[in-house]
């Protein structure tokens, strides 16, 4: 008997894949696997009900903790893609690993997903699965299925789906973010209604300040109360979301080169990323901050691609871990007008001296204001010289003034 494991949500795409895997690909048995990375309970109810109606063996894997830990790794890397925090992208490798483990435990011969050939998720799933010996199957992509065809097929087969996402929008939810796309949102000129949002309220005139504690770059407490990673994210999603924090409306460039319109909600992610970057600004040197921007950018790109286990990421995380040793302290964040703005930060590792920076101190130790005179004379010296010798009206006197530090 041949068996295939299917990434199963109970929606239209994955439901029609069940009979297709038997009819078109010749598998004797299909098992469904749903992975919990923080979706609403209603989605699991739908998957369970659909699996039961299909007489499908259904496995549910709780991977919230693994996903939350990866999200916190992304905080240390200040990970965003084209202006929004990575959510769906980070969830896919976690989901793929969990499905692969079930497939191997259940002696499956193949592993399948219901992704289309136009999105990123097909690549993220298969990057994990193609490390195995299992046959990788993508019925929607390989058979060129359209939504209309799937709906007609579901009707003909009397499959237990209503033929859609349960609403006007295509929604993907996990602990870290909620994405909304499809239908009229595909028109970049369309102004989305407020009812596309579920995690975030409309910003009001109210404000609140909270204190977030970091240890080695990881968030560990809010207002002095410690949380595990899942609970901390859930707490901040609710709190920051009540102030309208974390909405993004973007034109996103996918890996296949397509440009798509995406709407996101990510209250906790926005809050933690803003706070973390503020704390880094206090404790890291200028050189560390500038170079880490390059490291963070590369980490974010690999995270978007779903390749968080790539050798490059491991190397990047070596640098990140070194810098994060000092990213310990607290950041006060103010929720106001739909923003999460750091307004104070404190750390025993601060690379900062108020005494040296103050305008009210004349001499600190061996450093005096007048010591900056020599620096000021050399600052811009090459610019003055280059401008002088390339000026059509330059003369010997101008060049001499430039080399003496005078003004052109």
Binding-site residues for L-citrulline sit at 84, 120, 124, 170, 179, 252, 264
Q: Give the tens place of pLDDT for each residue, 140-187.
A: 999 999 989 999 999 999 999 754 444 567 889 999 999 998 889 999
Greater confidence (375 vs 368) lies with: 375
DSSP 309-373: TSHHHHHHHHHHHHHHTT--EEEEEEEETTEEEEEEEE-TT----HHHH-TT-SEETTEEGGGHH
Contact criterion met (CB below 8 Å) for 123 and 306: yes
Gap between the Cα atoms of 20 and 157, Å rounded: 11
Judge if pTM exceeds 0.85.
yes
At 241, the pLDDT band (50, 70, 90 cuts) reads: very high
Average pLDDT over residues 96-105: 98
Query: What confidence score (pLDDT) does residue 371 get?
Result: 86
Contact criterion met (CB below 8 Å) for 225 and 346: no
Query: What confidence score (pLDDT) does residue 408 get?
Result: 43
Q: Give the tens place of pLDDT for each residue, 302-341.
A: 999 999 999 999 999 999 999 999 999 999 999 999 999 9
Q: How large is the angle between the packed helices 88-105 and 64-76, nearest 10 degrees?
A: 140
Query: What confidence score (pLDDT) does residue 165 get?
Result: 43
CB-based burial of residue 39 (10 Å sphere; 0-12 exposed, 13-18 middle, 19+ buried)? buried
Average pLDDT over the chain reads: 92
Q: Does 129 have pLDDT greater than 60? A: yes
3-state secondary structure of 61: strand
Average pLDDT over residues 357-366: 69
At 109, the pLDDT band (50, 70, 90 cuts) reads: very high
Query: What confidence score (pLDDT) does residue 22 get?
Result: 96
Gap between the Cα atoms of 311 and 142, Å rounded: 30
Contact criterion met (CB below 8 Å) for 91 and 174: yes
Binding-site residues for ATP sit at 7-15, 114
Q: Give the tens place of pLDDT for each residue, 10-34.
A: 999 999 999 999 999 999 999 999 9
DSSP state for residue 291 in the 8-state scheme = H
Structural Rg of the chain based on CA atoms: 27
Contact criterion met (CB below 8 Å) for 312 and 295: no
Binding-site residues for L-aspartate sit at 116, 120-121
Structural domains in the chain, sorted by start: 3-171 (3.40.50.620), 172-346 (3.90.1260.10), 354-403 (no CATH)
Q: Give the tens place of pLDDT for each residue, 248-283.
A: 999 999 999 999 999 999 999 999 999 999 999 999
Helix (H) or strand (E) holding 104: helix 88-105
Gap between the Cα atoms of 195 and 176, Å rounded: 20
Pairing relationship of beta strands 3-7 and 110-112 according to DSSP bridges: parallel
3-state secondary structure of 73: helix
Tokens of 245: 């924090």
Cα torsion 78, 84, 88, 90 to 10°: value is -10
Which residues pair with residue 344 across a beta bridge?
332
3-state secondary structure of 203: coil
Query: What confidence score (pLDDT) does residue 183 get?
Result: 83
Query: What confidence score (pLDDT) does residue 393 get?
Result: 56
Residue among 252, 20, 258 at smallest CA distance from 144: 20
Catalytic residues: 13, 92, 121, 170
């Amino acid at each position: 008997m041949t068996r295939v494991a299917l990434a199963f949500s109970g929606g239209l795409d994955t439901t029609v894949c069940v009979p297709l895997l038997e009819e078109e690909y010749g598998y004797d048995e299909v098992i469904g696997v749903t992975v919990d990375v923080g979706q609403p309970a209603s989605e699991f109810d739908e998957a369970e009900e659909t699996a039961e109606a299909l007489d499908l063996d259904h496995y549910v894997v709780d991977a919230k903790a693994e996903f939350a830990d990866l999200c916190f790794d992304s905080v240390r890397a200040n990970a965003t893609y084209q202006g929004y925090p990575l959510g769906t992208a980070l969830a896919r490798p976690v989901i793929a690993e969990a499905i692969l483990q079930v497939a191997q435990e259940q002696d499956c011969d193949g592993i399948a997903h219901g992704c289309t050939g136009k999105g990123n998720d097909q690549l993220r799933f298969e990057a994990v699965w193609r490390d195995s010996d299992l046959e990788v199957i993508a019925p929607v992509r390989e058979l060129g299925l359209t939504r209309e065809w799937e709906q007609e097929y579901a009707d003909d087969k009397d499959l237990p789906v209503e033929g859609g996402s349960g609403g006007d929008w295509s929604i993907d939810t996990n602990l870290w973010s909620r994405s909304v796309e499809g239908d009229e949102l595909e028109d970049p000129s369309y102004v989305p209604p407020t009812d596309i949002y579920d995690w975030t309220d409309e910003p009001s005139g109210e404000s609140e300040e909270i204190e977030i504690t970091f240890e080695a770059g990881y968030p560990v407490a809010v207002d002095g109360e410690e949380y595990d990673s899942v609970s901390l994210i859930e707490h901040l999603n609710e709190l920051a979301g009540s102030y309208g924090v974390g909405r993004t409306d973007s034109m996103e460039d996918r890996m296949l080169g397509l440009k798509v319109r995406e709407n996101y909600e990510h209250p906790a992610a926005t809050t933690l990323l803003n706070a973390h970057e503020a704390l880094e600004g206090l404790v890291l040197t200028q050189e560390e901050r500038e170079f880490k921007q390059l490291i963070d950018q590369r980490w974010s790109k690999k995270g978007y691609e779903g390749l968080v286990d790539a050798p490059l990421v491991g190397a990047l995380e070596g640098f990140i871990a070194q810098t994060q040793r000092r990213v310990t302290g607290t950041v006060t964040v103010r929720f106001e007008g739909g923003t999460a703005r750091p307004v104070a930060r404190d750390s025993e590792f601060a690379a900062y001296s108020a005494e040296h920076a103050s305008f009210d101190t004349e001499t600190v130790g061996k450093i005096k204001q007048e010591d900056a005179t020599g620096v000021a004379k050399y600052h811009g010296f090459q610019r003055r010289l280059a401008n002088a010798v390339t000026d059509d009206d330059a003369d010997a006197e101008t060049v001499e003034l430039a080399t003496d530090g005078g003004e052109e």
